[in-house]
Structures are given as structure tokens and as C-alpha cells.
Amino acid sequence: MSLPAAIPMPPAADDPAPRRSDFAADFLWGCATSSYQIEGAGAVDGRVESIWDRFAATPGRIRDGSSGAVACDHYHRWPQDLDLGRDMGLNAYRFSIAWPRIFAGVGARPNEKGLDFYSRLVDGMLERGLQPWATLYHWDLPQYLQDRGGWNERATVDAFVELADAVTRRLGDRVKHWITHNEPWCTAIIGNYEGWHAPGLTDLKTALQVCHHVLLSHGRAVPVIRANVPDAQVGLALSLHPLRAASERPEDHAAMQRHDGLRYRWFLDPLYGRGYPQATWDLVGHSAPHVEAGDLEAIAAPTDFLGVNYYFPEVVADDPAHQPFRTRVLAPTSGEITAMGWPVEPRGLAELLERVHRDYAPGPMYVTENGSSYEDTVAPDGAVHDAARKRYLQRHLAALRAAAAAGVPLKGYFAWSLLDNFEWAEGYQRRFGLVHIDYATQERRLKDSGRWYGAFLHGD
Ligand code: FCB
């Protein structure tokens, strides 16, 4: 297992601007979104409450006190949104299925109206030349399942497999690309240990059990999806960061290794048949998950691709106050940062992709999310001159080209995100879209970054 050097790397010299022809002709160029962040229509056509509705309704949880109840009203305005994607020149679109639209309760039959919505959406993509990439779980668990313990309960694995079955039966004639889970780290650790995402718990044992069940549900869903969609391509999307030690001190280097055990290997090792990493298992002690016979084999179900979501590298320091990991991820103190406080480091993308390819050889890889948040404003000329986001996108595509040249089997890139949207605990104050949303009027406006992506895609 190779780890980056302890000393942060110097910034790379600027690469020449990327051109579409630098990439394979069949490379996929998309944008990504997720159901809760854009759809709105919270109580329409039989949709029930999700853990994010409940979380957002809890005072103090969302920075601006908002929720996804209306969001971008994509549930009603999706034809216009897909038009924007088509006009930009995308050939793929990543979206997610809202579980609360599909099953209204335990033992309920699938909600036809919910399935119909996604069926229309998929038809809309195909009509516009957008290859549909469906994510089955992008964090909006039905609240009725959380009331029974959520992902901490093994029964939720069965419920997820039922969801996968119902959705792939209905859409599998047209949707061939399936992502079971988006970012199990966030579901498990941010939602149940760090607590700043729904359901807002702060218990390590719960978080690791949740993690195990999420991974298990992925592995158990894979054969079900394959049975329903014989020509399916199935994978999942992980959020990963290249790691840097805060200093050359051996303590910080060891902290980085411990963080790596949880942040990277805890997910990738079991997915690629190596079980949970022993050092991390020993470190978490009694918080280790309950694992039943056959679980690890199920989690390691062969997949067709790996999705990697990349935003920034993490700098890790030794912190004895934070047990059991004794690690702390430091906020950047210098260099270029986005409105999220995330450092901009395009080379980290190439470094990360190369490492995953070297360590696990997962086969075809896709960047399933990558993007940046800036404080956009509508200029007097009516445009959104988001030069920093455009530059971010250009530099990350240059890094993608470098990774492909280094031999990573890269097959596609999805910018996060098509639209400004509900950015979880940050509410609407953080904009990631290539398209600006005026939340008062729901007016859509292609930003300069989106114009650049379109010119790149329409160019040579
Ligand atoms: C990722 C999430 C996505 C979005 C971006 C900014 O972790 O998958 O929904 O919030 O971050």
C-alpha cells in the first residue's frame, strides 16, 4: 500500500488547456446531481419524509435554516434542466433516485407515480442524447426506516435490495449504468459519527455498523441488478482524498497512516476482497462492526467500474485528544481555497486516481463528481462570471488527462453539479452549479464555467 510523501507537494506548473480531443472519442462527459438536492416536490405524488427532511426541520442543523422542500423544483422543471445539459454538449447525466418516492413504508408496494417520474426523466435523457447514470442511494433514506434504526439495522440492507430490484425492473430496459451508493463515507461517518449530516448521530460503533450495512447492501444489490438488467454496468461512487501529513514529524506521518486506514482502506479493502484492514479494526476495538458469515464475500461482488468523487487533498495531524484515531484533518491556512474552505489542488486528482488504480486495479474508472463552490453573483450584464470555477474545471480536466496518460483506465467525468442546489448542512449558501439558480424565481442561467464546458465539449 503506497502512501504519499509526508511533505506537501509544491504546486504544479500550469498544464496546457485541455481539449476534448485529448481524451478518447467515447469518453463520457456529464454533470451529476442528486434527488434531495434538486428535486423539491417534497410531498408530491406520494413521496414520504426522508431523513434529510427531518434533519433540516431540526433547528440549527442547516446553516441558513433551509431544506430541500422546493430546491430547484427539478421535479417539475426537469425538461428545461435536461435541455441545458444537452445544449452544453453533455453525453451523460448522473442523477439519483429518491427512495421516499418509491416505497412509502415497510412492506408497501412500489409507488407507481414515483417510478413514473424517473421513467419520464430517463426518456427525457435518452431523447437528448444523455446516457443515464442512476444512483440508487444519495443519502435520502426514508424516515420510517430511520425510525427503525436506519442503516444500523440489518433489515435496511434487505430494504435497499428491494429498492434496487423495483427500480432496475422498471428502468433497466433503458438505464444500463447503475451506481449503488454515493459516498458511503458520508452516509456512515459524517451522518453517524461526525453528526453534521442526517441523521445527526455521533457514535463510532453505530457509524461502523452503518458502514458495514451500506457496503453489504451494495454487494447484495449487485447480483439483483445484474439479474434484472443483463447488460448492466454496476459500480459505486466513493469520496476519496489524497492525504498529506501536516509536517515531517513521525507522529503526523503515523496519524496520516491511521486516517488512511479508515478513510480509504476501510472501504476499498473489503470492496476488493481483502476484508477490513486489520490495523484499523484493532484500533476501533469494541466499535468494530458485527459481521456475519458470507458478508465479506457479498461485499466483494465483482463490479464493472469504480466511481471516484474528488474535491481536495486532506492534511492530517496527530491529535491525542481525538480517540481512538488520534487524528485531525487540518483546514488549509494558505493557498487557493473555495467558498467551502476546500483547497484547490488539481494534481491531487491525478495522484488519487493513479493510487487507486495501482492499489486495487478496479478496472474502468469514472470521476463521478468534481467541482467547486464560489460566491457567484449575477453581473449587470445578466451573466455569472465565475472565472474561478471555470479555471478549476480546466485545471482538473488537465489533471484528468495526465492520469489517463499515466495509464489509469479513465472512461468519463461528471462535473458536480449541473445546477446550484441544496448543499446539505450548508443550505443554499454554497453554489456548485455550472448553471445558476435564482431561488426566488427559479430562473436558470448558464454560468461562464458552463459556457466554457460547452465550448470544450463542442470543440475539437
Ligand atoms: C459530495 C456529495 C454531493 C455534493 C458535493 C459538493 O460529497 O456527494 O452531494 O454535496 O459533495
| Domains along the chain with CATH numbers | 20-457 (3.20.20.80)
Q: Which of 162, 345, 351, 369 is catalytic?
A: 369
Separation of 182 CA from ligand 1 center, angstroms?
9
Single-letter code of the amino acid located at 6: A
The answer to whether residue 183 is catalytic is: yes
Q: pLDDT (tens digit, 9 = 90+) per residue, 88-135?
A: 999 999 999 999 999 999 999 999 999 999 999 999 999 999 999 999
Nearest CA to ligand 1 atom 10: 423
Nearest-atom index, ligand 1, CA of 34: 9
Centre of ligand 1 to C-alpha 282, Å, is 30
- Is residue 121 within 8 A of residue 134, CB to CB? The reply is no
Summarised one tens digit per residue, pLDDT across range 131-175 is 999 999 999 999 999 999 999 999 999 999 999 999 999 999 999
Per-residue confidence band for 1, with pLDDT thresholds at 50, 70 and 90: very low
**pLDDT bracket for residue 3 (50, 70, 90):** very low
Confidence label for 13 from pLDDT (cuts 50, 70 and 90): very low
Question: Could you tell which of 183, 189, 389, 420 is best to mutate to test the pocket of ligand 1, judged by most ligand atoms within 8 Å of the CB?
Answer: 183
- C-alpha 293 to ligand 1 mean position (Å): 33
Mutate to test the pocket of ligand 1, among 414, 423, 431 (most ligand atoms within 8 A of CB): 423
Q: How far is the CA of 380 from the centre of ligand 1 (A)?
A: 30
Distance separating the N- and C-terminal Cα atoms of the chain: 39
Helix ranges (H only) for 74-177 are 74-88, 99-102, 112-127, 143-146, 155-171
Rounded distance, CA 242 to CA 397, Å?
17
Question: Which residue in 39, 183, 314, 426 is the catalytic one?
Answer: 183
Mean pLDDT of 414-432: 98
* % of residues, the chain, pLDDT over 70: 97
The mean per-residue pLDDT over the stretch 415-421 comes to 98
What mean pLDDT comes out for the span 241-255?
Answer: 98
| Joined grid coordinates for residue 394 | 480546466
Residue 14: what pLDDT? 57
Nearest ligand 1 atom, CA 423: 10
- Per-residue pLDDT band for 7 (boundaries 50, 70, 90) equals very low
The Å distance, Cα 13 to ligand 1 centre, comes to: 28
**186, 369, 374, 420: which to mutate for ligand 1, most atoms within 8 A of CB?**
369
∠ Cα 191 197 202 (to 5°): 45
Which residue's CA is the nearest one to ligand 1's atom 9?
A: 34
pLDDT band for position 293 (50/70/90)?
very high
Report CA(416)–ligand 1 centroid distance (Å): 8
* 431 half-sphere exposure, CB direction, 13 A CA radius: 23
Q: Decide: 148 and 201 in contact? Cβ < 8 Å.
A: no
In this prediction the pTM is: 0.96
For the chain, give the mean pLDDT.
96
Q: What is the mean pLDDT of residues 288-312?
A: 98
Average pLDDT over every residue of 196-200: 98
User: Which ligand 1 atom lies nearest to the CA of residue 371?
Assistant: 6
User: Measured from the CA of 424, which atom of ligand 1 is nearest?
Assistant: 10
Mean pLDDT confidence for 410-438: 98
Q: What is the pLDDT of residues 324-374, one digit of tens each?
A: 999 999 999 889 999 999 999 999 999 999 999 999 999 999 999 999 999
Question: Could you identify the atom of ligand 1 that is nearest to the CA of residue 239?
Answer: 7
Closest CA to 138 of 307, 287, 17: 307
Spacing, Cα 373 to ligand 1 middle (Å): 11
**What residues pair up with 15 in beta bridges, in sequence order?**
none
- Collect contacts of 200-208 with beta carbons under 8 A, ≥24 apart: 200/55, 200/58, 200/61, 204/284, 204/287, 204/324, 205/286, 205/287, 205/289, 206/152, 208/284, 208/287, 208/288, 208/289
Which residue among 416, 418, 431 has the greatest number of ligand 1 atoms within 8 angstroms of its CB, and so is best to mutate? 416
Ligand 1 nearest atom to the CA of residue 182, by list position: 8
Residues in the ligand 1 pocket, defined by CB under 6 Å: 34, 37, 182-183, 186, 239, 309, 369, 416, 423-424, 432
Q: Which atom of ligand 1 is nearest to the CA of 432?
A: 6
Residues 346, 313: contact at Cβ < 8 Å? no
Query: For 144, what's the count of Cα atoms within 13 Å in the CB-facing half-sphere?
Result: 13
Residue nearest to atom 4 of ligand 1 (CA): 423
Return the pLDDT at 4. Answer: 44
Average pLDDT over residues 195-206: 98
Pairing between strand 28-32 and 92-96?
A: parallel
CA of 442 to the centre of ligand 1 (A): 21
**445 backbone φψ class: left, alpha, beta (φ>0; ψ -120 to 50):** beta
Q: Choose which residue among 309, 310, 434 to substitute to test ligand 1 binding: the one with the highest number of ligand atoms within 8 A of its C-beta.
A: 309
pLDDT-derived band of residue 17, with 50, 70 and 90 as boundaries? confident
Please give the DSSP secondary-structure letter assigned to residue 343.
B
Q: pLDDT-based confidence at 8, cuts 50/70/90? A: very low
**Residue 6 pLDDT > 50:** no
pLDDT at 12 over 70: no
Which amino acid is it at 261?
G
Give residue 294 CA to ligand 1 midpoint distance, Å: 31
Which cell numbers in the block locate residue 136?
A: 440508487
Give CA–CA dist 415/433, Å, rounded. Answer: 9
